[in-house]
Structure 1
């Protein structure tokens, strides 16, 4: 299969590198600035005892001229519109598109642009970031993918993509309810994101404060209620696992959104938080804590946007 990985950041770069290492035909669609870094340094994965460097095959939007068999879409939600325009020449009648973005709005956007038939659902779980040099830094061993047809039916293409990813050593599973899996990850990331961003600390920092251990479960209850009202109740074992995560004493855990806030970088507030609370209103579900987190992150977004304009003006 000819594989196009859209984005060579902390998610797409990691899984794309694994496919390239396994000898798959992989091209990374990147912006010119990222292409320059990768041509100079290679695509590097570091930490957890690993030092991997590959020489990636790169393409920019202007260089796409023929369809690919498989497109793995792994960009920030804020870049989705441009990424869709860039990747359009690579989408043919037989192309399968597997997005690994947070929330649900991207699925609706892709369906509207390309039709639902080529678009699968996808969930990526890993803990990585990009350092100042543009290298991918692994912060924890977790690195899994889940894929599936939007309507939950078995399909030969899901089986084929699953085998391709599995043969590359990627921990991958196929789901008969990928939309539910996407909702359940959305519940997790909004819970941990709201907890750490509102309190400006790690899970351990929050839990160590009197009354702090009750905040995570309260936020989780709101997010889970929205998911249930949307038709995707979170299973009890997953609720228990998330509860354990947000109440663990001494835990250093904090999600990527918290790191973005701590380093004064923009966040995906509109796509992860605002979209969820908007759906909650439609479903008549109250979410006062998530509403507060959305407001907090919007203020942060406004502040970082103003600083970016000042930098451009200076």
Structure 2
């Protein structure tokens, strides 16, 4: 089984290294010092204080890697449109694309059913380019719950979690999703096959759409956001606006809003990925987490006044950050934090 991880950062390299240890033929697309270190020394994977060196073929050029059975996209969602052309040499007639990205994916309304089946979302897929170039029929959904960090180039430390729920847009238990499940299990990863992966996507998005922008606007960590009465109230209001939209599209939220907020607070004094990106001067994942919820609300005529307000503020924050040199203290660790839910 040939698997390419496109975007072998903290999560991608952890996932790919585990799959390689399980016997899959894994390759990485990466860049910069991290790529150079993995090419020279392999991936140094640290789990529970034990380090293993995993040799994986790594390249900045997908043309060197050949056609794959699965391409796991582990990039930030806003980076995907810029690599669609480069990804083409990896794609054969039967290649599946596993979208291990935050937020609503480009294929969301593929085989969705109802009046919105086949709809593309401009906030995450402008002009339907991913839909048309990558193809929704290739997609397998994947939700990322673990947290990992790049300690230094080529060195990945696993922090917690190993859950990667997966599922077909149609909800079917196809041969390709079963094979993916089996190799994940062999790699000591928890990969339940969901008959409605969209529910899992929304469960994670439900918290990310409020905690991430609030943290970037206030510089507060998750424990503070969820325990302060004012920011907890804003989070709850945003989440209930989003739930009203999800309900219209048939989403089932298997935990209530208070339990979801408490689950995020239990993570402790962690900076969200959006706050980390702001402090590092990187683009923030705004559209896949907020703009898309606003857009989906417009599709069904559901108002989102609090989401609209926070979205306007975080977009202004990003514009100002792009115009102003970064003045924050550098992060001590390059940590990929994944906000937890009370997922069963």
Same fold per superposition (TM over 0.5): yes
* Backbone CA RMSD of aligned residues: 2.7
Find the residue that maps to 2:10 and give its secondary structure: coil
Find the residue that maps to 1:106 and give its secondary structure: coil
Aligned position for 1:12: 12
Deviations 1:78-102 (A, max 9, x none): 2202322111111111211111112
Deviations 1:59-115 (A, max 9, x none): 332534632111111111222023221111111112111111122243355432233
Unaligned segments of structure 2, at least 5 residues? 108-119, 327-344
- 1:35-114 paired onto structure 2 within 5 Å: 35-46=35-46, 48-61=48-61, 63-64=63-64, 66-107=66-107, 109=125, 110-114=130-134
Find the residue that maps to 2:144 and give its secondary structure: strand
| Distance in 2 between residues matched to 1:307 and 1:191, nearest whole Å | 25
| Distance in 1 between residues matched to 2:229 and 2:243, nearest whole Å | 25
| Distance in 1 between residues matched to 2:324 and 2:211, nearest whole Å | 26
Aligned match for 1:242, one of 260, 263, 269: 260
Cα pair 1:194 1:219 within 8 Å, conserved: no
| Distance in 2 between residues matched to 1:68 and 1:282, nearest whole Å | 36
| Deviation larger for 211-220 or 73-82 | 211-220
Deviations 1:238-285 (A, max 9, x none): 54431323566x932442112223444321112222222222223222
| Distance in 2 between residues matched to 1:201 and 1:63, nearest whole Å | 42
Structure 1 pair 32–243 and aligned structure 2 pair: CA distance change class (3 A): closer
Cα pair 1:224 1:233 within 8 Å, conserved: no
Structure 1 pair 62–125 and aligned structure 2 pair: CA distance change class (3 A): closer
| Distance in 2 between residues matched to 1:43 and 1:90, nearest whole Å | 22
- 1:23-34 paired onto structure 2 within 5 Å: 23-31=23-31, 34=34
Deviations 1:213-232 (A, max 9, x none): 43332222122222222321
TM-score normalised per structure 1: 0.86
| Distance in 2 between residues matched to 1:37 and 1:305, nearest whole Å | 29
Cα pair 2:222 2:272 within 8 Å, conserved: no
Find the residue that maps to 1:69 and give its secondary structure: strand
Structure 1 pair 246–18 and aligned structure 2 pair: CA distance change class (3 A): closer
Structure 1 pair 50–294 and aligned structure 2 pair: CA distance change class (3 A): farther
Aligned position for 1:158: 177
Once the 2 structures are TM-superposed, how far is the Cα of residue 3 of structure 1 from its aligned partner? 1.1
Aligned match for 1:268, one of 262, 285, 291: 285
| Distance in 2 between residues matched to 1:211 and 1:230, nearest whole Å | 29
Give aligned pairs, total.
Answer: 306
Cα pair 1:203 1:252 within 8 Å, conserved: yes
Unaligned segments of structure 1, at least 5 residues? 310-314
Cα pair 2:216 2:278 within 8 Å, conserved: yes
| Distance in 2 between residues matched to 1:208 and 1:120, nearest whole Å | 36
Aligned position for 2:116: none
- 1:91-240 paired onto structure 2 within 5 Å: 91-107=91-107, 109=125, 110-131=130-151, 133=153, 135-139=155-159, 141-207=160-226, 209=228, 211-235=230-254, 237=255, 239-240=257-258
Cα pair 2:9 2:30 within 8 Å, conserved: no
